[in-house]
Structure 1
Amino acid sequence: MSEKSIRILVVEDDAFTRIMIKRTLKGQNVVLTECSNGEEALALMDGERFDAAIVDWMMPKMDGIEFIRRVRARRGEPPYIIMLTAISSDEGKRTAMESGADAYMTKPYDNDQFLEVLNNGVHVSRLGRQTEQIVSRSTAGGLRKRYTAVGIASSTGGPQTLLQFFTDLPRIDSAAFFIVQHGPAWMLASFAERLGSVASMDVRLGAEGMPITPGTIYLAPGDRHMIVDPVSFELRLIDDPPENYCKPAADPLFRSIAAAFGRASVSIVLSGMGRDGTIGSGYIRAAGGIVVAQDPETAILPSMPKSVAELMIATRIIPLPMLGKEMAKILLPVAAGIRSAAEPVPL
C-alpha cells in the first residue's frame, strides 16, 4: 500500500449504500474498511488510524451522532468525518456539525461532489498535521506574535466589496490585514490610495522586507506573490509562477499566514472568479484558524466564496452588508484584552 493511500472507514448499516460508496471510490487511491454501526467503528479505531470516516446517522447499537461525539472526545488525531445521511433538514445538518462532523452530505449524493469533498478534506487534514509541526517549532523559538493575521482574497468585484467592508470595519489594533486583490500593478497602486481614503487604518502597498504592524492594512502589489516570513514577521515579495492563473495570488499568502500565526489566523474570501483562496483557506482551517466566506448571494461574482463554502472549509458565511460588523465582533475582543490572539476565536 502506498503511503499516500487514503485509509477510509465506512460506518454504514445499509449494504446498498456501502456498495455505492465502493463504486464511487473505484480507481481512487484508497483502502476501505467497512462496519455497520458506531460500536464496531470505535473498536476498529482502537487498532488502526484512518484518514477519513464516512458515517451514516441512523444505525443500530450506536448511531452516527454518538459515534462522532466519542471520536472527538478521544485523544490523538481524528479522521476527517463526513456525515452521509438521508436526513436533509437544516436542523439535522446543524446537529451533525455541532457534534463534530467536518462535512455533511445527503443521500443520494453527487459522485463528483462526494470525491471533491473527501479528497479536499483529507488533504486539509494532512496539511494540518504539517502546519501544526511548523507552528510548534515557531512557538518553541518564541517567534509567535501576539496579534491576529487576517488574509483577504478578492478578484472581480473585489474593489467595491473591499471599500464597503473597510468602511464598515472599525479600527482594530490587535490585527494586521493582508489583501490580495487580483489586478495589474498600476491598478493596485491606485486602489491602495482609494482604500486608504475610507479605511480607519493605514493602508500600505506591500514591499520586500516591510515590517508588519498590527492596525495596518497591507495590499499585495502587482506581479509578485506577497507572503509573511514566519521567522522575521516581515513581508516577502516572491517571483514564483502564478497560482490559480493569478499573480499575486491569495493561496501563497494564506499558506504563509497559517505557518506564521497558527490559530491566530483568519482568511476572508470575497467576490471573484475562480478558486483562489480555497486551498490556502484549507491551510488556515487546518492550523486552527477561522475561514470566512462572503455569502455568494451578495457577491458580484460568486465563484471564489462559493468554492470555499461548497467544500465546507468556511467556518462562517456572512453577507456583505454584515461582514464589517461581524468581523469586528470576532476581532475586537482581542484588543479589549478579553482573550489573547492565540486563543480560538468564538464563532
Structure 2
Amino acid sequence: MRPITYVRATDTATAVTAVSSDPTSDFLAGGTTEVDLLRQNVMNPRRLVDINDLPLTGIVGTPEGGVRIGALARMSDVAAAPVVRERFPLIAQALELGASPQLRNMASMGGNLLQRVRCSYFRDAESPCNKREPGTGCSAVEGFSRGHAVLGTSEHCIATHPSDVAVALVALDARVHTLGPKGERSYAIDDFFLLPGDAPHREHPMEHGELITEIEVPATPIARHSLYLKVRDRASYEFALVSVAAALSVMDGVIADVRMALGGVATKPWRARRAEDFLIGAATQRNDFAMAARVEMADARPTAMNAFKVELAQRAVVRALDMLCDGNETGAAPGSGSGSPT
C-alpha cells in the first residue's frame, strides 16, 4: 500500500499554492473517478488536496441569458437547476444521462471535464499506453478498439473522450475559467480539450496546480430548443457509443441556425462545424440531414472493430435533427445511467 497525505483546503488560493508547489500533489473533488485510478495504480499522487470546502458551487443565471456554473457544483444540482433546464435543456439531459443518481450527487462539474479516458489499456496500468506512459505505444491501435474514437485520432492514441456534458458545452461555446500559479485564465472550451497528436498525455492546456473555478455558458437563445441524444449498448450505467448535442432554429421551413457536437466518436468532444455549415439555409428534410452527417464524418478513421460508429453517428445526427423538427426535445433514451462521472 502506498501512503498518501490528505489535506483540506480552506480557500482557493491556498489550494492552488498547495498543489502547484508540489508535483506529487493533486486536487480531490468528488473523487468518483480519481479514487478508482488510485486503486488501479494509474495515478500515483503522494498528496491529495481536498477542495470540497471551496466556495465554487454556484449556479447563477446571467442577465444576458447565460449561466455561470461553479466548478464544484454537483452534476445533480446543475441538472435540476431551473435556469439550466429552461435555458439549456441539452445540458440537463447530458448530465442526467451521464451518470447514475448516486454518482451525479457526488461528481463535480470541473472534475467531469477533467476525467480520464475509459480505455481499458490506460486503466490496467500494465499495457503500453502513451497517455499513461508517454512513448510506450498505443495498445488499442492493434488491440480491442470497439469503443474507441474514429475522429481526431493519431497513431499515438485513439481513446474516446468520455464526458457527456462536455459535448453539450462545446456545442454552446462555453468558456472554462481557472486559477493557477500565474493567475486567472479563461479558455474557449473547444480549445480546452486537446487532440492527441504526438503528445496524447497532454489532454488540456492547464499547467500543474491550475484549478477550474467556473464554467461560463453564454446566452444562446437557440439552446432553448435543444436536446442531447445518447446511443449506448444498454440503458443504464454505460458510456456513449455515439451522442449528439444539438440545438436548432427553423424559419419558414429553412434552418436559420444550428449548433451541434458529437460524443463517443472522437478523442475530444467534437464540434460538428462541417455539418453546421452545410445545414445553414438547408430545408428541414432528412436527405439534407443525412448529407450533413456524411460531410461531418468524411474524415473518420475507424478500426475494423469500430467501423460501425461511422454509420451509427450519421444515423444519430439525423435522428436528433428529426426529433428537434418534430418538437420532441427529449433526446434521452429510456432510463438513465453512468456515462461520465468524475
TM > 0.5:
no
Q: TM-score, normalised by structure 1?
A: 0.27
Structure with more relative contact order (C-alpha pairs < 8 Å, separation 6 or more) = 2
Larger Rg: 1
